Amino acid sequence: MEFSKAFVRFNWVTLVLIYLVVVAGSFVRITGSGMGCPDWPKCFGEWVPPTTAASLPDNYKAIYAEKRTEKVDKFAVFLTRIGLVETAEQLKNDPMLHLEQEFNSRKTWTEYVNRLFGFLAGNAMLLSFIWMLLKYRKRNLILLALFNLILMGVQAWFGSIVVASNLVPWTITVHMLLALIIIAIQLFFIKKISPKYSANQRHPKWMLGLIWLSFAIVFYQMFLGTQVRESIDELTKMGIGRASWTDELGMPFYIHRSFSWGVMLMLIFMAWKNEVISKYGFIRAAIFVLALELLSGVLLAYADMPGLVQTSHLIFATIIFGILTMGIFRGRLVS
């Protein structure tokens, strides 16, 4: 079955929107804007948020603190049911979860923009599903599009839990894992509908093995990076400043930094072999993005970890993940 160019291009745009959600979510975190909108899906009860506290009721903090407590209590019940009793009790007894922040228009609009990107990405996925359902009616792709759409909804809900629960460490890791799964499914969907990408590339055994190994290391690097980010959140809560973070982060940070050089050496070797034998464009792209990723990592480690660099570090890693994922989906051994 042939799919129209418009449908293929629309799904590429959808992928870009998903990436923009990741970027916006990272920016929300580094600016501490997660509770800029204390309710969901509206923001301070409105579809377009206020710009000043004067438009809010005098007791708005008490109102939204109560709503936040209700959300955390419901999440604690869920955690108890799946056996995480200790974590549930910590949430219920954390006094910081019962306090509401002062209105801050910058944080409110930062979170609002993040939600707009999520709204656009979610609706693009919905339109893609409807398009597939009504025009192409290919059952396996309909189910795949529906599954990814449901995951996007779960991701949006879970994002609100991450913030409402005051950044409980493991929730951040789960949130990132869900984002990577959504990206991988969207890439697989594009691979299936695009004539350019539906045909498998024939890789020599060494190349396919290196792609898989690089993918595994990059995935582990992103997991370690999330652990480092969680540690930074804890240090921030303890009042430890940005300049001292590298001294306090411990072994995960040093493993994360050391593995970066391993990824670099492996992809450089792949690039050399690629130029000699295959000349695949995705390998060239991976090397280029890796260079940017390593540069942002150096700035994070040695330049007081500037906030915007954290966002660029995440997005470059996610792009490399996407490139290698597509390489795996298209890869096939030379017969």
User: Does residue 157 sit in the same domain as residue 206?
Assistant: no
User: Does residue 87 sit in the same domain as residue 225?
Assistant: no
Lowest mean pLDDT among 71-80, 148-157, 291-300: 291-300
Its sign, for the CA torsion 291, 295, 300, 305, is negative
User: Does residue 166 sit in the same domain as residue 251?
Assistant: no
User: Does residue 188 sit in the same domain as residue 208?
Assistant: no
Residue-range definition of the domain harbouring residue 80: 1-199
Q: Which residue, of 150, 167, 199, is where some domain finishes? A: 199
| Predicted pLDDT at 210 | 78
Q: Which residue, of 177, 199, 221, is where some domain finishes? A: 199
Q: Per-residue pLDDT averaged across 114-131, rounded?
A: 92
Lowest mean pLDDT among 59-63, 66-70, 230-234, 280-284: 230-234
Residue 242 has pLDDT above 60, yes or no: no
Comparing CA positions, the residue from 210, 148, 135 lying closest to residue 184 is 148
For residue range 313-323, what is the model confidence (pLDDT) as tens digits?
A: 778 888 888 88
| Predicted pLDDT at 334 | 47
Its sign, for the CA torsion 170, 126, 192, 147, is positive
Q: Which residue, of 135, 164, 199, is where some domain finishes? A: 199
| Predicted pLDDT at 2 | 81
User: Does residue 331 sit in the same domain as residue 185?
Assistant: no
User: Does residue 293 sit in the same domain as residue 322?
Assistant: yes
User: Does residue 188 sit in the same domain as residue 226?
Assistant: no
| Relative orientation angle of helices 139-164 and 60-81, to the nearest 10 degrees | 120
User: Does residue 222 sit in the same domain as residue 122?
Assistant: no
Comparing CA positions, the residue from 248, 268, 264 lying closest to residue 298 is 264
For residue range 150-194, what is the model confidence (pLDDT) as tens digits?
A: 999 888 887 777 666 655 656 777 888 888 899 999 999 998 888
User: Does residue 184 sit in the same domain as residue 205?
Assistant: no
User: Does residue 273 sit in the same domain as residue 246?
Assistant: yes
Average pLDDT over the chain reads: 78
pLDDT above 90 covers a percentage of the chain that reads 16
Whole-number Å distance between alpha carbons of 111 and 7? 30
User: Does residue 206 sit in the same domain as residue 178?
Assistant: no
Q: How many domains does the chain have?
A: 2
Q: How confident is the model at residue 307 (pLDDT cuts 50, 70, 90)?
A: low
Burial of residue 284 (number of CB atoms within 10 Å: 0-12, 13-18, 19+): middle
| Predicted pLDDT at 305 | 52
Task: Give the global pTM.
Answer: 0.80
User: Does residue 194 sit in the same domain as residue 235?
Assistant: no
Whole-number Å distance between alpha carbons of 178 and 172? 10
